[in-house]
Structures are given as structure tokens and as C-alpha cells.
Amino acid sequence: MQHLGGKGIFILSAALFFLASCSQKISPEKPFLPATAFNLDTLPESEINIPVEINLKPLYALAEKNVDTLFLSPGYPDKWVQETCDTRYKYEFRRSPLQMNANGNSLNLGFIGYYKIIGSTRICVAGAAMSPWTSPCRCGFSESPRRVNVTFTNSINIQPDYKVKLTIKRNEPVPVDKCEVCFWGQDITNEVLKGLKAELDAAKTEMEKNFGVVDLKQQFQQIWTQLNASFNIYGMGWLQVNPQRFRINNLYAKDNNLYVHLSLSAKPVISFEKPEDKNPVIPNMGGTSKRQGFSIFLDAMLNYDSLSNILNRHLANKEFDIDKSGVKKKFIINDCSLYGNNSERLVIKVNFRGSNSGTIYLTGKPVYDKQQRILELKEIDFDLQSKNALLKTAEWLFNRKIINEIAAATRFELTSYIDTAKTMINQQLNHEWIKGVSSAGNIQDIQLINIYPLAKSLVIRSNCTGTLSVKMDSIDFTL
């Protein structure tokens, strides 16, 4: 009995030892990857050249509102204008609606003036009256009002502080009809125009006061604030434009529109997590740029948790049946996680169960195929620490079937992603930013140009090219 008992204990001990060795949990140390000599270079400034079309009709309406329609001689109709001893007159002057046109950097404002005048005369010698005033004679009352063309020329300039400065020049009025009153058929058109000039100079002063300088900084600040906000790209991530400065490249007027060629430099970033919105004060405009369209360098900050979730959609609970020298083995992936180590290679941590259980680490190099638009991990293999651990306990896991399956899950075909991104970003480019201010744009191409596997995120740098224009159709110049 003792012998049998001793034999039984020996057999039991051997069985327990065998089972313990078979079920030993595999737990290698984390990979140590030497840092690779690469740096996340400063994101190049993106250049976005934007033709801005400003509808001047609201400005015309403001001018129409602020330029008087009726000009009267001082004290009209009771008082006379008397600049010399022998002549006196009084007049009424009405204007037509303003006529405006723009050409080059000039804005021309004009109207037709219609005037009526009453005058009388007397004989004077050496400044002393020698006769009474004649009966008043009228011009433009019984016949059509006399006409005169009046114009102002405004030169347009946009200053670095976003003020549109209109330098207003009153041109000399040009009479269309003469005004000859009944006393001696005297032509007193020049006297009328002299009084009119004083009135027009007063109107010029009023125009300069009301819209000689139009401050657009508030409108640009609203756009600047929106550009600093983060935009959700329909569940694909968050875009933050990070504008740096505006520039003015060209300015000219044509018909009823003012065309300003703006340039915006920016450092846009896309991330899976929503960044904090910023609300900085808009800086003054910078110098000029001669580029056309836009060239945007964009960093997509892809955090490893999100990438790991994508991996687990394909690999979690994936089972592998492996035949090792006629012995059936089972390998089941619990979950995977992906992370970087400031090296050119990424690490894939695989927790598994089955014939053995534990953790293994693989490494792979992120590579982008520009022709096929495929981002994938290449050269995937077991890390050295994992190899050493498997050699001691589970050599059967050195199987390309497992590696090939994991490699397939790390292969991301980006054509549909890029096409979707282009569609979604185009929708963001084509909308109304604030009331009366809308943009129209089109992304022509997106190219991935570099990959940076940093410790906290995988940075994918791309370059987008396209066109963008802005139209200010009903902007309120009174703000």
C-alpha cells in the first residue's frame, strides 16, 4: 500500500509538474526599441490664397442714405445770397439717385443735379448801390430745371488693421444747361456752381465721416474665431485650422464688386480627440504672396487607443488552429493594443489564450504606398524579448499564420478615407460663415508625405491642394 501510495504520489506530482509547465503564462518584458534619428519637423505653414468678392451695393446704399438729396442756399426761401453789391440770388438744388461704378482701385460716385434759381440785380458804383433791385427773375421754374453733373472719386485702400480707407475727392461740377436770368441775359451759372461747391464739400465731409473709413476688423475677427474652432469631420476626427495671419495680395474694383485677393497662412491639424477651441485676437495683416489656390500641410494626430480599437474589430477573439508535429494547438487573441516608442517601428501587444496564455509583442514599420494609397505595418515580427520567452515555453507560436493575420489587420486602404475626407472637407469649405459671408472651395488632391510614430500618437502628415474663394454679398458696413 505504501509502495502504491508512493508511486501514486510520484505520478500525481509528475502530472502536476507537466500541467504546470504546459499552462505556464507567457509574459515577456516590454520591447526596448532604440530611438530612431527622426524628428517631428515643424509643420510647414499652409498657404491659402483666397479671392474675396465684396458686393459694393450695401456701401452704395449707405452712401445714398448719407448724401443729402436737397441742397438749398442759406436761409432759402426767405434770404438771399449776396456776394457782390450788384447781384443777389437764392436757389434750390435736388439730386438724382447716386450713380456708382468701380474701376481699378477707384470708386466713382456721381449724380445729376437739378437746380432752380431766383435772382435780381441793381446798379452799383464803387460798391455803392445806385438803383433799387430789379424784379426777381427766375431760372428753371417755368422751364425744366437746369442740370449739372456732380462726381466724387474715391480711391480704395485696405490697411493692415482691416480698415478700408476711401480717400474722397470732389471733382469740379460740370454744367449741362446754362442759367441765364432776365436781367441783361446774365449767365450766373458759375455763381450757382460756386454755392453748390460749398454744399458738396460739406457732403464730402459727411461722407468721409460716415464711410470714409470702414472698419472690417469685427467681421474678420468673427471669421478668425471660427477658423480657430475645431470642426467635426463627420465622425472621422476634428479639424483645427490654426490660422497664423492674413495678407492682402491684390485689390481692385469692377462694376459693383470689390475684389480683394487675401492670403491665409495656417497650420491645420486633425485629431481623433476634440482639441480645445481657441479665441485669439486677430493679428494685423502681413506682407504679400503671389501664389494661386492653396497648399495645405496637415498633421493628422491619430492616438493609439483609437488605432487599437480598429485592430480589435478585426482581431479580438480570433482563433487559430495550428498543427505542430501532429499535435493540435489553439491560439485565441483576447485583444491587441498598438503603441509607439519614438522609434520608426510600432509595437503590437497581443494578449491571448488557448493552448497557452499570456502576452506577446510584435513590432512593425509603418509604410505608405502612394500608388495604392495603402498604409500598413511591414516587416512584422516577434520582438526579441517575446522570441526568447517563446523559445522556452511555446515554440509552436512561431507561426507565420498568426503574423500574416495580424499584418492583414494593420493594412489600411485609404482611398475611400481620402475620398470621403475630400467630400466632407469640401462641404466645410462651401458654406456661409456669418450672415452675408460665404465661401466656395474644392480640394483637388490629398497626398500623404510622411509618417511619425511618436510615443503618444501616430502623426500622419499630408498635403492638400485646391482652390477657395470668399464672397461678401450683404455685409453690413455700419458695424
Angstrom CA distances, 125 to 85, 121, 128, stand at: 9, 13, 5
SS3 state of residue 179? coil
Q: What is the mean pLDDT of residues 199-217?
A: 78
Q: Give the confidence band of 349 by pLDDT, cuts at 50, 70, 90.
A: very high
Q: Are 340 and 302 in contact (CB under 8 A)?
A: no
Q: Is the pLDDT of residue 5 over 70?
A: no
Model pLDDT for residues 209-260, shown as the tens digit of each residue = 776 787 888 888 988 888 888 877 656 678 888 888 888 877 777 777 878 8
Q: Residue 275 in contact with residue 269, Cβ under 8 Å?
A: yes
Cα maximum dimension of the chain:
166
Q: What is the pLDDT of residue 348?
A: 93
CA-to-CA distance for 350 and 356, rounded, in angstroms?
A: 13
CA-based nearest residue to 115, from 142, 144, 86: 144
One-letter amino acid of 357:
S
Higher-scoring residue by pLDDT: 4, 458: 458
Distance CA 91, CA 179 (A): 11
Among the listed ranges 14-23, 27-36, 202-211, 441-450, which one has the minimum average pLDDT value? 14-23
pTM given for the model: 0.58
Residue 66 has pLDDT above 80, yes or no: no
Rounded-to-5 percentages of helix, strand, coil across the chain: 25, 45, 30
**Which SS3 state, helix, strand or coil, does residue 5 take?**
helix
Instruction: Read off the C-alpha cell for 474.
Output: 450683404
Give the highest mean pLDDT range of 17-21, 37-41, 74-78.
74-78
Q: How many CA atoms lie within 13 A of 83 on its CB side?
A: 10
Share of the chain above pLDDT 70, in %: 88
Q: What is the phi-psi region of residue 414: left when phi exceeds 0, alpha when psi lies from -120 to 50, beta otherwise? A: alpha
Q: What is the pLDDT of residues 84-115, one digit of tens each?
A: 898 888 888 888 888 877 777 777 888 898 88
Q: What burial class does residue 44 get, using C-beta atoms within 10 Å of its C-beta: 0-12 exposed, 13-18 middle, 19+ buried?
A: middle
Alpha-carbon Rg for the chain in angstroms: 41
Q: How far does the chain reach from its first CA to its final CA, in angstroms? A: 107
Residue with cell 469649405: 429
Query: Per-residue pLDDT tens for 398-430?
Result: 878 888 888 888 888 778 777 877 787 788 788
**Cα–Cα distances in angstroms (integers) from residue 428 to residues 127, 181, 227, 271, 298, in the given order:** 77, 68, 11, 17, 16
Q: How many CB atoms lie within 10 A of CB 30?
A: 14
**Domain spans of the chain?**
26-45+217-479, 57-215
